[in-house]
Structure 1
Amino acid sequence: MIDFEASCLPEYGQSFPIEVAIARTDGDSRAWLIRPADAWKYWDWSEEAEKLHGISRDLLEEKGLPLTQVVAEMSEFVHDCNVYADADLDQYWLEVLCHAAGSQVPFPVHYLGEFIKKRGYTRAQVVSALDEAKNRLPKEHLAREDAKRLAMVVKLLLDQPPEGLSY
């Protein structure tokens, strides 16, 4: 699972990625703060978004990693996995990141809903897994926690057969 935090939501302006995290269903995860590209200098920043995720421009300048490093390390971390997200915005922010880094998008981001539908899980099963994952990982709007929670949802679903199927 992949999750991005951004400078603002696209409906509030031209946004750029500031943090990305990837979590596997085996519990392994990585997160990267992203040093803004020079090209993003005049792109939009939302104080409201900053309050949600707690990441300031100063923190990004101080602790953010170079774009090329983030893309390379992400690619290495997911080399043998399919990558899913719960929103199409994550694919958009991956594309923005890679464009600014001067690199190709290293992997596609699939929509989690397609995985759930293809596997035949019911709404009740998904809601139950989401509730359990939120109970275990309640912090929101932090890329690492959001990605870990989504990976936990998938793991919980994989640990049970879709309704109507027995193994």
Structure 2
Amino acid sequence: MRAFIDFEASSLGPHGYPIEVAWVFEDGRSASFLIAPIDGWTDWNPAAERAHGISRAQLAREGVAAPLVARHLVDELAGHQVLTSAPSWDARWMSRLLCAGGLPPCAVRVADTDAALLELAAALLAPALPSSQVHRASRQIMASAGDRFVGRRRAHRPLADAELERDRWLTVCRLARAYAGLSTDDRAARPPAASREANLFLHPRVYPRTSLDRPGAEWRAS
């Protein structure tokens, strides 16, 4: 299954570190954690704090130990395709978080959402169109999907921004299926509830979801 991930960091400098992470699966299950810094994580940019609104005091009060977050992230995401809108930055924060937990930095890899969206559209269109038309139609679908998110700004909080990536994925999927003449009905079983251990031992900020978004209108070229 695919998952969509996002991080916030203390700064974008060479010594910045992750302070919050969230991920959302295709079926809507999600989790979000503030990350308590480990020894040596001291770099802090006030401009970054103004963007995300997370203070050092909040991290000290509500943050989960970085090694615990790292282990839970690997338990949840290893073996899944993990997508992000900022792969170079989020790969850096992922690596630092995993290293803080004594885990291999490649235990979970991230890929670019936009590239995966283009591949998704092409894969859905390929059975219905001549090969010479697939690339152009895929680009058309990407443009139409982008139009639907004009004005929806990123929140600079990982859960909201990861959910935005999931919404983009579902939109491209529905548009491509409609273009190809396939059903656009999203049906998802109720996802398994978060474990009691995860809720009590890690952090209360775990947000299970119960269903996928409802499908939008039929395909209309932009």
TM-score normalised according to structure 2 size: 0.65
Q: How far off its partner does 1:18 sit?
A: 0.3
Q: Quote the Cα distance in structure 2 between the aligned partners of 1:64 and 1:85.
A: 23
Q: Quote the Cα distance in structure 2 between the aligned partners of 1:26 and 1:77.
A: 14
Indicate how the Cα distance of structure 1 residues 163 and 122 shifts in structure 2: closer, same or farther if over 3 A, else same.
farther
Map of 2:172 onto structure 1? 157
Q: Quote the Cα distance in structure 1 between the aligned partners of 2:95 and 2:153.
A: 29
- 1:98 maps to a residue whose letter is L
Provide, for residues 94-140 of structure 1, a one-character-per-residue CA deviation record: whole Å limited to 9, x for no partner: 001111222113211111122123233744533443454577x7561
- 2:141 maps to a residue whose letter is Q
C-alpha contact (below 8 Å) 1:7/1:18 kept by paired residues: yes
Paired residues in the alignment total 162
Is 1:129 the counterpart of 2:128? The answer is no
Map of 2:160 onto structure 1? 145
Map of 2:110 onto structure 1? 109
- Of 69-78 and 87-96, the range deviating more from structure 2: 69-78
**3-state SS, counterpart of residue 103 of structure 1:** coil
Q: CA RMSD in A?
A: 2.4
**3-state SS, counterpart of residue 110 of structure 1:** strand
Where do 1:44-59 residues align within 5 Å? 44-59=43-58
- 1:93 maps to a residue whose letter is W
Map of 1:100 onto structure 2? 100
Provide, for residues 71-110 of structure 1, a one-character-per-residue CA deviation record: whole Å limited to 9, x for no partner: 1221232245210111121011000111122211321111
> Percent of pairs identical after alignment?
29
Higher helix fraction (1 or 2): 1
Q: Quote the Cα distance in structure 1 between the aligned partners of 2:149 and 2:8.
A: 20
**3-state SS, counterpart of residue 37 of structure 1:** coil
Q: Quote the Cα distance in structure 2 between the aligned partners of 1:23 and 1:114.
A: 18
Indicate how the Cα distance of structure 1 residues 116 and 99 shifts in structure 2: closer, same or farther if over 3 A, else same.
same
Structure showing greater Rg? 2
TM-score normalised according to structure 1 size: 0.84
Indicate how the Cα distance of structure 1 residues 134 and 144 shifts in structure 2: closer, same or farther if over 3 A, else same.
farther
Map of 1:77 onto structure 2? 76
Gaps of 5+ in 1: none
Q: Quote the Cα distance in structure 2 between the aligned partners of 1:30 and 1:5.
A: 14
